[in-house]
Amino acid sequence: MSSFQSSVFIAMKIPAKLSHTHRNHDGCCINYGSFLRKVKNRINIFCCQNDETMRAYGGFSSNNSTQPERTKQALPLKNVVVDGRATTPTATATATATVVESSSGIGVVKFHQGRSYFITGATGFVAKVLIEKLLRTVPNVGKIFVLIKAKNKEAALDRLKNEVIDSELFECLKQVMLGKSYEAFMLSKLIPVVGNVCESNLGMDANTTREIAKEVDVLINSAANTTFDERYDVLLNTNTRGPCQLSSFAKKCNRLSLFLHVSTAYVSGDREGVIMEKPFYIGESIAEKRVTSENHTSYQKLDVHTEIKLALDLGRSFQDNVGDEKKKELGLERAISYGWRNTYELSKAMGEMLISSKRGEIAWPVVFVRPSIIQSTYKEPFPGWIQGYRMGDPLIFSYGKGHLPGFPGNPAAVLDIIPLDMVVNAMIAAMAKHGIAGKPDMNVYHVASSIANPLMLQDFFKFQYEYFRSSPLMDSKGKRIDITEMRFSSSMDDFSSYIGKEILQQSGLTDVTVSDEKLSQLEDSVGNAKR
């Protein structure tokens, strides 16, 4: 039984080009090398090699500074055994797990060889790295069916080529092919399937369903809507009903060995302290757990099916922008009443509940992987890969451009971040461990860092400050942008006052008694001038 320590939840993640130059939508470039290496070295998943082979196999990531420089080309993934430090041996995927090379390990390669997979969300952030890792380290893996939202097979194939096969993420795999036909290999392994997790039978036709069900060994649900304040009905469709649809499809797969669902550590909701790795069941809520621990008896009972009906009914009632806002407000209201902080967390928790509700009907292992804030890759397939302008990019660029001199928050608060390749390694190891065991039970893994090696908010900004002082951004006139150390505010009033004074100073005004209306205009003008 391992644990995840709840910490401050900020809607951001570290961006990423460790060894590459990163350009944002304004054309500003940052090479995140020195800054991100400091951040990533705070993450405490690492690989312990034996004395004879001091090197990494298959990229189970390491931040052990005593180890020699890694070779650029990834070596084949070896079998591993898990030695759970500070937690129990089941903590394969936690930030305190130690991965040790051994010839008598859990059989990672042995399990994945020849297996066929069905993956949802395959063009997304997490699943794409998982696909790359499997194809690069287990080249004799079976077919990988990828569910893609498209109008027909041709459109699905185009998306597969454009968003997966042609992605820079697969450059290492291209090199491994050494002159062989990379695209032919990829098309022989990756099978695009037209469908949608939000629809009945995953949007697949009957013939496709039957053919895939005959071949699939492992189901992986990585499809998700990660917008925290999205409409209630939209989030429930993808994050709650989607996993349920996949569970129903699983019952048709005769060869199935395992079902893995990518959840989030923040299904833990508005709680603090050590959160045990236990699945959610129908009817449970954070409010219930909280009042039970505090010896209260009053809380609102959560009924997943009622919530789905409520969201869908509201969706039919409003068809305009005003209705969209009402749907967002409803989701937030329901989430808070049950003890979650936003609609996204609630919808993901209810997705787990619906999978759990089918426990009596399944004959295969179910694994929930709950990452905390996922950032760019630490080492594999190369350092610093991330998809798009996301995660911490807006925050870091704003600070580097002098737009964010202050931040409202506790400087000692913990940012629980985890590199993407470590999440994928945890998924691969967990699939092997439970797929080989074959027990039809439910297993939860938190992939997080805060309880073992926390990164505090003040250090996060300290690394940015050091980076931008040595490698400053330039303004539109080619002039160096000087930044100051981040100023933390203990309240929103203090933060607003400080930012207001900064805006006045940057606009060249000294009269601090400007009206709120004038201040708002100045905020807009300063912001527009700096874009």
- Please identify every residue annotated as catalytic: 344, 348
Give the C-alpha distances (Å, rounded to integers) separating 139 from 62, 70, 114, 177, 184.
Answer: 23, 21, 9, 10, 13
187: left (phi over 0), alpha (psi -120 to 50) or beta: alpha
Indicate the residue type of 253.
C
Report how far apart, in Å, the C-alpha atoms of 483 and of each of 99, 304, 400, 409 are: 41, 48, 7, 19
Tokens of 176: 């491994």
Its sign, for the CA torsion 254, 258, 264, 269, is: positive
- C-alpha–C-alpha distance, residues 171 and 175, integer Å: 6
Question: What Rg value do the Cα atoms of the chain yield, rounded?
Answer: 24
Q: How far apart are CA 293 and CA 19, in angstroms?
A: 47
Does residue 371 contact residue 264 with C-beta atoms inside 8 Å? yes
Do residues 437 and 107 make contact, with C-beta atoms less than 8 angstroms apart? Answer: no
What is the spatial distance between Cα 286 and Cα 273, in angstroms, rounded to a whole number?
Answer: 13
Q: Is the dihedral of CA 468, 469, 471, 472 positive or negative?
A: positive
Write out the two tokens for 359: 């426990």
Q: List Cβ neighbours of 221 (8 Å cut-off, separation of 6 or more).
A: 120, 121, 197, 242, 243, 246, 259, 260, 261, 262
CA torsion, ordered 24, 26, 27, 28, to nearest 10 deg: -70
Write a three-state SS string for 356-375. Answer: HHCHHHCCCCEEEEEECEEE
Query: Whose structure tokens read 């063009």?
Result: 123
Please give the Cα distance from 451 to 473 (Å, whole number).
34
Give bridge partners of residue 443 from the DSSP assignment.
367
Q: Helices 321-338 and 286-293 meet at what angle, rounded to 10? A: 30
CA 458 to chain centroid: 23
Cβ neighbors of 302 (< 8 A, separation 6 or more) are 283, 284, 285, 288, 338, 350
Contact 55, 67 (CB under 8 A): yes
Residue 120 bridge partners (DSSP): 221
Of 139, 187, 129, 136, the C-alpha closest to 161 is: 187
- The DSSP element (H or E) to which 85 belongs, if any, is none
131 touches 119 (CB < 8 A): yes
